[in-house]
């Protein structure tokens, strides 16, 4: 049967994926327009750096807050807002492509709400592990830790399927192995920071969350806890 001409390609995407992609795209579009001089006039060229410093995650900024002994909202929100600011258009495009491809799979297997849960928690935990493991003063920006969370959830679906088929479940980790290998090579040849730590933490977060997000998963977790 031929597909209806009224069907829209975006209909196959979970609404949460569309919302995240639109938000990421809108921020990058504004920064691109400002950098090109279409917004902000002469000051527009500095908007991206201002966004990095105002919304990016930084271990030094967090440590200063902890030293003051308070909880400051303009610091805490950076655990999430850093994901919506990218270094350049290519950085943003890579994040969006991963979210489109893998967010669709996560939404289909776990539901629309799970997309938001995986993205947000992978983003937050990515920043937290980045702080604890590196204490790097370099700004952490971009949605890649959240996107790696989607890779983790996607890998879980492969891992579960391979186990049900009696096949080698290690094959489920080929994608993350490839991604981390490429990032390592890129860092060796072109230099790079320690943002791979946040990405890896995002992946682990997405994989671990899937045990609960999979249909019936929370019930199985509670049943095992009661047995213990």
Q: Which of 106, 188, 186 is nearest to 146 (CA)?
A: 106
Contact 132, 159 (CB under 8 A): no
Report the distance separating Cα 216 and Cα 199, nearest Å.
28
* pLDDT given for residue 40 in this prediction: 86
Domains defined along the chain, listed by start: 13-227 (1.20.1540.10)
Name the more confident of 199 and 172. Answer: 199
DSSP-assigned states of every residue in the chain: -PPPTT--GGGGS-HHHHHHHHHHHHHHHHHHHHHTTSSSGGGGGGHHHHHHHHHSB-HHHHHHHHHHT---HHHHTHHHHGGG--SSHHHHHHHHHHHHHHHHHHHHHH-HHHHHHHHHHHHHHHHHHHHHHH---SPB-SSHHHHHHHHHHHHHHHHHHHHHTT--GGGGGHHHHHHHHHHHHHHHHH---SHHHHHHHHHHHHHHHHHHHSTTHHHHHHHHHHH-
Report the distance separating Cα 203 and Cα 179, nearest Å.
11
* pLDDT given for residue 3 in this prediction: 45
* pLDDT given for residue 181 in this prediction: 75
Average pLDDT over residues 59-75: 91
Report the distance separating Cα 216 and Cα 128, nearest Å.
29
Q: For the ranges 87-91, 162-166, 216-220, which has the lowest average pLDDT?
A: 216-220
Average pLDDT over residues 179-198: 71
Report the distance separating Cα 156 and Cα 106, nearest Å.
10
Compute how many other C-beta atoms are within 10 angstroms of the C-beta atom of residue 228.
Answer: 4
26-to-18, 32, 188 alpha-carbon distances in Å: 12, 10, 32
216 CA to centre of own chain: 25
Residue 190 has pLDDT above 60, yes or no: no
Q: What share of the chain in percent tops pLDDT 90?
A: 57
């Amino acid at each position: 049967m031929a597909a209806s001409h009224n069907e829209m390609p975006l209909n196959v995407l979970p609404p949460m994926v569309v919302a995240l992609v639109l938000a990421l795209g809108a921020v990058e579009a504004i920064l691109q327009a400002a950098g090109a001089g279409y917004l902000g006039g002469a000051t527009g060229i500095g908007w991206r750096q201002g966004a990095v410093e105002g919304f990016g995650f930084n271990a030094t900024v967090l440590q200063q807050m902890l030293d003051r002994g308070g909880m400051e909202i303009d610091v805490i929100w950076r655990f999430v807002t850093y994901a919506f600011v990218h270094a350049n258009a290519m950085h943003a495009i890579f994040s969006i492509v991963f979210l489109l491809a893998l967010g669709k799979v996560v939404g289909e297997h776990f539901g629309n709400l799970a997309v938001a849960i995986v993205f947000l928690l992978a983003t937050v935990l990515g920043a937290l592990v980045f702080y604890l493991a590196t204490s790097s003063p370099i700004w952490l920006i971009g949605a890649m830790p959240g996107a790696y969370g989607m890779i983790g959830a996607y890998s879980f679906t492969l891992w579960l399927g391979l186990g049900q088929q009696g096949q080698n479940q290690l094959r489920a980790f080929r994608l993350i192995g490839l991604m981390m290998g490429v990032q390592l090579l890129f860092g060796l040849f072109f230099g790079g920071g320690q943002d791979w730590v946040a990405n890896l933490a995002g992946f682990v977060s997405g994989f671990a969350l899937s045990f609960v997000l999979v249909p019936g998963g929370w019930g199985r977790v509670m049943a095992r806890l009661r047995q213990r």
